[in-house]
């Protein structure tokens, strides 16, 4: 129960993360308790508001809540800007989620064509600027007067005009996972391999994160420190994913799997103790369980560990093995199998060919293959995969 879906826009599920429910009242409070300060800053936008009109036991909190809700509506529009642009390029949008640091549009994939990435990345900040301009237009059009209503509307729309532009500017900082990081990568990818562009953009992103963290420490700003951390992690993850993707470009599951003939297998009637002995001898911790030529399950060291020591002679592999197995087609790309491994947090996948098992793909297979590919590619091939840009 970390997410709640609150509705759909253009077919995209809009979700609230649990952390958002903390951050909304916090924002309402932060705005509501600083009305006078904010009014002072909004003076520069050209319309005078008398701060004494915006006091009272309830009004500041109503304004705080209205401004915070408006802010999050602006974030949803920003994410819709990314999402609708991505949908034009056939990318599926899994969801838009609001959380403690704003919004995330979850794309099923990110196009590696730099023009598409550039447009998708920049669409969010452009929408934010447009929302800011729209709020500013409303702010200019609100009838004057000494009424509380007019002062309240000026406050909320002036605040939203300013904050949406701030949001756009902040998002254009050149660090992953912010939009500016993607814009930077897209621009770099015009004349260099995608993986290299990612690496450079990620380094810049880490630099930005460190600066933000230092600034946050100096200013004792917890939100800034949190953001810096988030940017740093995002930059590293993005770089790692892209390097993997580039390395496994054009490689299929059956290129890196262990074929069934080379696999050590076990029958279901072997006792747990006997298999433990065998694991020690072969220094191998996972076996497909084969019964009459058919793979019927998988048994791993952790399955055996769960058996009480006194029962290890009586219990057999059949009693502890995993029966519902994750499989992957032998002709699938290696990268999709790797994503499958990490998504389900499992150590191995059975490789099938038209329903029958032909091999096994383990994390060890993947890591070994990755090391070999990297050393092989270190000569001229590095990063030629992963969507080399057309020039
Ligand atoms: Zn964005």
Distance 45 CA to ligand 1 centre (A): 25
Q: Does 315 score more than 60 pLDDT?
A: yes
List the single range of 117-121, 244-248, 386-390 with lowest mean pLDDT. 386-390
Distance 171 CA to ligand 1 centre (A): 6
Question: Cis ω on the peptide bond leading into residue 177 (within 30° of 0)?
Answer: yes
Q: Distance (Å, rounded) from C-alpha 256 to C-alpha 269? A: 30
Q: Distance (Å, rounded) from C-alpha 52 to C-alpha 302? A: 67
Q: Distance (Å, rounded) from C-alpha 24 to C-alpha 212? A: 23
Do the bridges between strand 327-329 and strand 348-353 make them parallel or antiparallel, or are there none, so unpaired? parallel
Predicted local confidence at residue 386, as pLDDT: 31
pTM of the model: 0.68
- What value does the mean pLDDT take over residues 351-372? 83
Tally the C-alpha atoms within 13 A of residue 184's C-alpha that lie toward its C-beta: 23
Predicted local confidence at residue 1, as pLDDT: 53
pLDDT band per the 50, 70, 90 thresholds, residue 233: confident
Structure tokens at 163: 């904050």
Which three-class secondary structure string do you get for the chain? CCEEEEEEECCEEEEEEHHHHHHHHHHHHHHHCCHHHHHHHHHHHCCCCCHHHHCCCCHHHHHHHHHHHHHHHHHHHHHHHHHHHHHHCCCCEEEEEEECCEEEEEECCCCCCHHHHHHHHHHHHHHHHHHHHHHHHHHHHCCCCCCHHHHHHHHHHHHHHHHHHHHHHHHCCCCCCCHHHHHHHHHHCCCCCHHHHHHHHHHHHHHHHHHHHHHHHHCCCHHHHHHHHHHHHHHHHHHHHHHHHHHCCCCEHHHHCEEHHHCCCECCCCEHHHHHHHHHHHCCCEEEEEECCEEEEEEEHHHHHCCCHHHCCCCEHHHHCECCCCEEECCCEHHHHHHHHHHHCCCEEEEEECCEEEEEEEHHHHHHHHHHHHHHHCCCCCCCCCCCCCC
Q: What angle do CA 8, 78, 244 make, to 5 degrees?
A: 90
Distance 390 CA to ligand 1 centre (A): 25
Q: Does 388 score more than 60 pLDDT?
A: no
Distance 212 CA to ligand 1 centre (A): 18
Percent of the chain whose predicted confidence (pLDDT) is above 90: 15
pLDDT band per the 50, 70, 90 thresholds, residue 382: very low
- What value does the mean pLDDT take over residues 293-319? 86
Structure tokens at 345: 């947090």
Distance 254 CA to ligand 1 centre (A): 38
Distance 206 CA to ligand 1 centre (A): 18
pLDDT band per the 50, 70, 90 thresholds, residue 148: confident
Q: Does 122 score more than 90 pLDDT?
A: yes
Predicted local confidence at residue 377, as pLDDT: 56
Q: Does 115 score more than 70 pLDDT?
A: yes
Distance 179 CA to ligand 1 centre (A): 5
Distance 20 CA to ligand 1 centre (A): 17
Predicted local confidence at residue 160, as pLDDT: 93
- What value does the mean pLDDT take over residues 296-323? 87
Predicted local confidence at residue 30, as pLDDT: 87
Strand order across the 348-353 sheet: 258-259, 356-362, 348-353, 327-329
pLDDT band per the 50, 70, 90 thresholds, residue 128: very high
- What value does the mean pLDDT take over residues 53-77? 88
Q: Does 26 score more than 80 pLDDT?
A: yes
Q: What angle do CA 171, 240, 4 make, to 5 degrees?
A: 55
Task: Look at residues 166, 230, 257, 244 and name the one whose alpha carbon lies nearest to residue 198.
Answer: 244
Distance 80 CA to ligand 1 centre (A): 9
Q: Does 355 score more than 80 pLDDT?
A: no
- What value does the mean pLDDT take over residues 8-34? 87
Q: Distance (Å, rounded) from C-alpha 86 to C-alpha 163? A: 25
Distance 221 CA to ligand 1 centre (A): 22
Q: Distance (Å, rounded) from C-alpha 355 to C-alpha 154? A: 66
List the single range of 272-286, 303-317, 372-386 with lowest mean pLDDT. 372-386
């Amino acid at each position: 129960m970390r997410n709640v879906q609150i509705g759909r826009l253009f077919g995209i599920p809009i979700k609230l993360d649990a952390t958002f429910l903390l951050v909304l009242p916090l924002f309402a409070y932060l705005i509501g308790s600083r009305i006078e300060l904010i009014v002072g800053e909004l003076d520069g936008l050209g319309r005078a508001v008398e701060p004494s009109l915006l006091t009272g036991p309830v009004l500041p909190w109503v304004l705080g809540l209205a401004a915070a809700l408006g802010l999050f509506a602006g974030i949803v529009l920003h994410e819709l800007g990314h999402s609708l642009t991505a949908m034009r390029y056939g990318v599926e949008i899994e969801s838009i989620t609001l959380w403690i640091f704003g919004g995330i549009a979850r794309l099923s994939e990110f196009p590696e064509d730099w023009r598409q990435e550039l447009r998708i990345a920049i669409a969010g900040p452009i929408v934010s600027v447009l929302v800011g301009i729209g709020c500013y237009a409303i702010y200019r059009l609100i009838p004057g007067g000494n009424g509380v209503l007019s002062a309240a509307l000026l406050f909320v729309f002036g605040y939203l005009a300013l904050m949406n532009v701030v949001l756009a500017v902040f998002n254009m900082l050149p660090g992953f996972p912010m939009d500016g990081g993607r814009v930077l990568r897209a621009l770099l990818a015009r004349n260099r391999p995608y993986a290299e562009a990612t690496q450079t953009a990620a380094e810049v992103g880490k630099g930005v994160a460190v600066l933000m963290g230092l600034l946050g420490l100096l200013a004792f700003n917890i939100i800034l420190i949190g953001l810096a951390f988030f940017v740093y992690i995002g930059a590293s993850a993005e770089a790692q994913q892209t390097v993997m993707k580039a390395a496994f470009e054009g490689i299929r599951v059956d290129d890196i799997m262990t074929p069934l003939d080379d696999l050590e297998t076990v029958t279901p009637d072997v006792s747990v103790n006997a298999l433990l002995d065998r694991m020690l001898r072969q220094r191998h911790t996972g076996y497909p369980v084969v019964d009459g030529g058919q793979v019927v399950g998988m048994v791993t060291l952790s399955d055996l560990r769960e058996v009480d020591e006194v029962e290890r002679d009586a219990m057999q592999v059949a009693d502890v093995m995993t029966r519902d197995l994750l499989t992957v087609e032998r002709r699938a790309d290696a990268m999709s199998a790797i994503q499958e491994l990490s998504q389900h947090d499992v150590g191995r996948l059975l490789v099938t060919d038209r329903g029958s098992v032909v091999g096994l793909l383990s994390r060890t297979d993947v890591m070994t293959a990755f090391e070999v590919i990297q050393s092989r590619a270190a000569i001229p091939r590095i990063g030629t995969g992963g969507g080399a840009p057309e020039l």
